[in-house]
Copies of this chain bind each other. A is one copy, B any other.
Amino acid sequence: MARTPEQFRESGIEVKLDTRVEEVDTSLGRARLADGTSLPYDHLVIATGARAIVPPLPGRDLPGVFTLKNLFDGLRIKKYIQEKPCRQALIIGAGFIGMEMCEALKNIGMEVSVLHRGNRPVNRWDPAFSQLVVEEMSRQGVSFIPDVQGTAIEYKEGKLYLQTNQGPFPADLILIAVGIKPEVALASEMGLELGKTGAIQVDFSQRASREEIFAVGDCAEVFHRVSNRWVNIPLGDIANKQGRVAGRNIGGNPMEFPGIVGAQAFKIFKLELAAAGLDETEAAAAGFQPVSNIVWGNSLPSAMPGSARIGLKLVADRATGKLLGAQAAGENGAVSRINTLSCALWSGMNIDEVGYLDLAYAPPVGTAWDLIHYGAQSLRKKL
């Protein structure tokens, strides 16, 4: 549960809000704060997170133009919508934030368009699955406009206009959601090493390039167990785990962070999408010979209420048969398949094992051969 600064103080922990750290002197072990005071430290944890990328669009600072990275951004958007008559919303970008916000804004009655410079949303997923996202947006009355490039935002007679290569789009509210990048300015100034991803380089104990300094969350790298590479995947569950690992190491109950397999998911209206591991491009870059296929089936026997069509893509290594990645999409059952397969990826299973995994079967909860089995067995034939 979240605690207030007062509650922390009762536990002997000082929490300073609205307090920018201007500079850290690593030789003295002191952090200088914006109010001119400074604090000494034995251990320092950097959890500066990430910040929204804002393309250099003229007009990006106009009222009604937002990014969404933290709680305060959310409150600002909410207040704006409550105070101004907002009928039309434009969302620039089709990643997780774009997808979640198109649903949220649609649900409060706004006309919503998602504008994307690429030709399909959430391109971590296979085109067969991002196509389902396009169809779900269309079914729910959200416009998806591909291949559009904004050039400026203008304000005229009570309306915002996004000027683009496809002409102007009017709006009462514009959300720029084209991605985030790790916030590493302070870490750079302190001379900490950054990894190839641009995030702070850490080891398995969450230590940065100085032993007394830890980095956790969106600003830090994390070890990917499938690619065997350090990556930067800015997700809240990873941040939570890294924070706990750093805390244990500082507190004298050491542990190493075992890494991740890149499990992720989102929901847009009724559709669940989930993925774990590597896609073909990442697999090839990590030195594997990826082979993949997609199978379609039902989340439950088709006669059962709640049964939904679900697609499952698996990626494996031709040389070893090792499972490298999985993606799923459907109205239900997608996340649950991916969580099971995340565990298989974690353990380095090969697809022969995946094809015979023991999963709980009963007609109201699954089929005797699950889509996981079917997917692994079909992929086997392509190796």
Using CB atoms and an 8 Å cutoff, list the residues of chain A in contact with chain B: 96, 225, 235-238, 240-241, 255, 257-267, 272, 274-276, 335-336, 338-344, 346-347, 349, 352-353, 356-362, 364-366, 368-369
**Residue with the highest number of chain B CB atoms closer than 10 Å, among A241, A255, A360:** A360
B274 near A365 (CB under 8 angstroms)? yes
- Residues of the B chain whose Cβ atoms lie less than 8 Å from the Cβ of A258: 353, 356
Give the one of A236, A241, A259, A346 with max B CB within 10 A.
Answer: A346
Cβ–Cβ contact B262 & A361, under 8 A: no
**Contact partners of A262 in chain B: CB under 8 A:** 358
Whole-angstrom distance between the Cβ of A244 and the nearest chain B Cβ: 9
Q: What CA separation (Å) do A168 and B46 show in the bound complex?
A: 72
Known: A236-B368, A340-B342. A361 touches B263 (CB 8 A): yes
Chain B contacts for A261, CB-based, 8 A: 358
> Which of B225, B236, B343 interacts with A340 by CB under 8 Å?
B343
Chain B residue contacts of A265, Cβ below 8 A: 360-362, 365-366
Q: Is chain A's binding surface mostly helix, strand, loop or mixed?
A: mixed
Residues of B contacting A342 with CB < 8 Å?
A: 340, 357-360
Known A240-B369, A258-B356, A342-B359; further 15 A-B contacts with Cβ < 8 A: A235-B361, A236-B368, A262-B358, A263-B360, A265-B360, A265-B366, A266-B362, A267-B365, A338-B360, A342-B357, A342-B360, A343-B357, A346-B347, A346-B358, A347-B347
What is the bound-complex CA distance between A263 and B359, given in angstroms? 5
CB contacts (< 8 Å) of A341 on chain B: these are 343
A352 to B357, CA, bound (A): 22
Give every chain B residue within 8 A of A255 (Cβ-Cβ): 352
With a cutoff of 8 Å between Cβ atoms, the chain B residues found around residue A235 in the complex are 361
Bound: A263/B272 CA distance, A: 25
Closest chain-B Cβ to A48's Cβ sits at a distance in Å of 19
Closest residue of B by beta carbon distance from A274: B360
Contacts of A266 in B (CB 8 A): 362, 364-365
Partner of A356, one of B257, B267, B336, B352: B257
15 A-B contacts (beta carbon < 8 Å): A237-B358, A237-B359, A240-B369, A260-B358, A262-B358, A267-B362, A274-B365, A275-B360, A276-B358, A276-B360, A338-B360, A339-B359, A340-B342, A342-B358, A346-B349
**Cα distance A238–B368 when bound, in Å?**
8
Contact call B241/A361, Cβ cutoff below 8 A: no
Inside 8 A of A359's CB, which chain B residues have their CB? Answer: 237, 263, 339, 342
Instruction: Take A257-B356, A265-B360, A356-B258 as given contacts and tell me if A272 and B237 are in contact as well, using a CB distance cutoff of 8 Å.
Output: no
- The smallest C-beta distance from A310 to any residue of chain B, in angstroms, reads 13
Take A235-B361, A358-B261, A361-B265 as given contacts and tell me if A343 and B338 are in contact as well, using a CB distance cutoff of 8 Å. Answer: no
CA distance in complex: A342, B339 (Å):
11
Q: Which residue of B lies closest to A245 (CB)?
A: B356
Task: Tell me the minimal C-beta distance from A314 to chain B in angstroms.
Answer: 14
> Which residues on B sit within 8 Å (CB–CB) of A368?
236-237, 240
Minimum distance in angstroms from A296 CB to a CB of chain B: 16
**A237: chain B residues within 8 A (beta carbon):** 358-359, 361, 368-369
A264 contact set on B, CB distance < 8 A = 360-362
What residue in chain B is nearest A335 (Cβ atoms)?
B365
Q: How far is the CB of A270 from chain B (nearest CB, A)?
A: 10
Query: Which of A237, A261, A366 is most buried by chain B, counting CB atoms within 10 A of its CB?
Result: A237
Considering the complex, give the chain B residue whose CB is closest to the CB of A349. Answer: B347
* CA distance in complex: A267, B300 (Å): 13
Task: Kindly state the separation between the CA atoms of A352 and B244 in the bound complex, as whole angstroms.
Answer: 13
